Structure 1
């Protein structure tokens, strides 16, 4: 699911098949039935990334981060819920405290037509003891968004709308993020990941920006590896580390995630 935004994992489909045959009048071949898709599924994931980028901006001071989460899916109704955590640096760099981000989310997905899917839900980004509201020029870092996504084949369009202040920006409720992308099969297990995003921050026009990603993913030995080039149009004077490094610069990011 920070991709928080997108971030985020879900259960693969399993199709049921039943077969039976009679070899002759005396010997019967037993029927074989593939295990039915369970109504309830729980999965876990753990991984690492060379630089935790969310909407193009580094959350980890351009350094590696550890990440992991858990997800529940009800396959009958398309309902899901989960949590995801990552180590971070940005709240401390902004003058607050805390080194962990915890995401809590829930939603519903399904089909509008056989060729069009939907996904709607709510996502809260929690930064325990971040203390930013005590820092001049900042609001509390904790943020909640509602979102909706439409997909068709490998293409998708998603919009997220904040119902609180956005990631510490003062008076930024009702900010929005548009996420357009595609995950294209390249054969032999490789997938091309394309993304373009637009973050608008309410009453903070100078801080709004675009971001983009071109990447490739492949699963090897049960681990999902990703290699991506990520960049933004963010203002270097507004997004930087304590050492003065631009957190939205174009960079190569590598990640590895194991789901079980």
Structure 2
């Protein structure tokens, strides 16, 4: 589904969870972005997106949640996405980890484009690596056995301002769908009113132009 016109928002939802964040609690999040990007490709045809989610985290490291956003893949395609995920996160020595499963659902699509991914994220100091493997694809098998890997570096300029760069590679195990590389750089400002991010993103896909976006996210306890 996503490759046809293939968030910041998803990245925020699936980011590495630190040990201090693993409280036994329910939390909510809302967000807005000028363009919903997923691995460098727009999910909204270059238009704005609004999102929200609910997460449960146990002090053992087990967590589960759901997240939803509007999408736009063209005529007669789904207008919203709902993700369901669960996993286990923690820290060993100075290395953080997050392993789990996420299912991408498009309830009002004209065909079943849902699919899932198993993921593993690792972090150390400034550095992080994220991997995912596609599974449980329904009518559209684009992401069945697809593999994604991304490396990123994040640096805190100040207690409320951070800079990050990331490079990822999406590969497919299906004829006629080409692999591609995506990369981005971003600045995030933390405020009492939420986190504001400015990002520049691009891919190596022919005729693909750089995308500049701004986003806002706010998390709260339930």
- Both structures adopt the same fold (TM-score exceeding 0.5): yes
How far apart, CA to CA, are the structure 1 residues paired with 2:196 and 2:82? 22
**Counterpart in 1 of 2:3?**
none
Q: Find out whether 1:98 has 2:82 as its counterpart.
A: no
Which of the residues 156, 171, 187 maps onto 1:185?
156
Cα RMSD after superposing both structures: 2.3
How far apart, CA to CA, are the structure 2 residues paired with 1:233 and 1:258? 32
Q: Find out whether 1:78 has 2:78 as its counterpart.
A: no
Please identify runs of 4+ aligned residues in structure 1 that moved more than 3 A.
Answer: 2-5, 9-14, 168-172
How far apart, CA to CA, are the structure 2 residues paired with 1:54 and 1:219? 22
What are the superposed Cα offsets for residues 125-154 of structure 1, whole Å, 9 maximum, x if unpaired? 00012123xxxxxxx321100011221112
How far apart, CA to CA, are the structure 2 residues paired with 1:204 and 1:5? 27
How far apart, CA to CA, are the structure 2 residues paired with 1:211 and 1:38? 30
Residue 178 and residue 5 in structure 1: after superposition, are their counterparts in 2 closer, same or farther (change >3 A)? farther
**Counterpart in 2 of 1:136?**
none
How far apart, CA to CA, are the structure 2 residues paired with 1:48 and 1:97? 21
Any conservation in 2 of the 1:72–1:80 contact (CA below 8 Å)?
yes
Question: TM-score normalised to the size of structure 1?
Answer: 0.75
Q: Secondary structure at the match of 1:234?
A: coil
For structure 1, list consecutive stretches of 5 or more residues without a partner in the other structure. Answer: 15-36, 133-139, 237-247
Alignment: residue pair count: 213
Q: Matches of residues 1-260 of structure 1 in structure 2 within 5 Å?
A: 3=8, 6-8=11-13, 40-75=24-59, 77-90=60-73, 93=74, 96-112=76-92, 114-132=93-111, 140-165=112-137, 169-170=140-141, 172-204=143-175, 206-236=177-207, 248-260=208-220
More RCO (CA 8 Å, sep 6+): 2
Higher strand share: 2
Any conservation in 2 of the 1:181–1:196 contact (CA below 8 Å)?
yes
How far apart, CA to CA, are the structure 2 residues paired with 1:145 and 1:193? 24
Residue 56 and residue 259 in structure 1: after superposition, are their counterparts in 2 closer, same or farther (change >3 A)? same
Residue 170 and residue 106 in structure 1: after superposition, are their counterparts in 2 closer, same or farther (change >3 A)? closer
Residue 5 and residue 66 in structure 1: after superposition, are their counterparts in 2 closer, same or farther (change >3 A)? closer
Residue 38 and residue 212 in structure 1: after superposition, are their counterparts in 2 closer, same or farther (change >3 A)? closer
What are the superposed Cα offsets for residues 179-209 of structure 1, whole Å, 9 maximum, x if unpaired? 1112211114111111111011112464321
Question: TM-score normalised to the size of structure 2?
Answer: 0.87
How far apart, CA to CA, are the structure 1 residues paired with 2:170 and 2:154? 21
Q: Secondary structure at the match of 1:207?
A: coil
For structure 2, list consecutive stretches of 5 or more residues without a partner in the other structure. Answer: 1-6
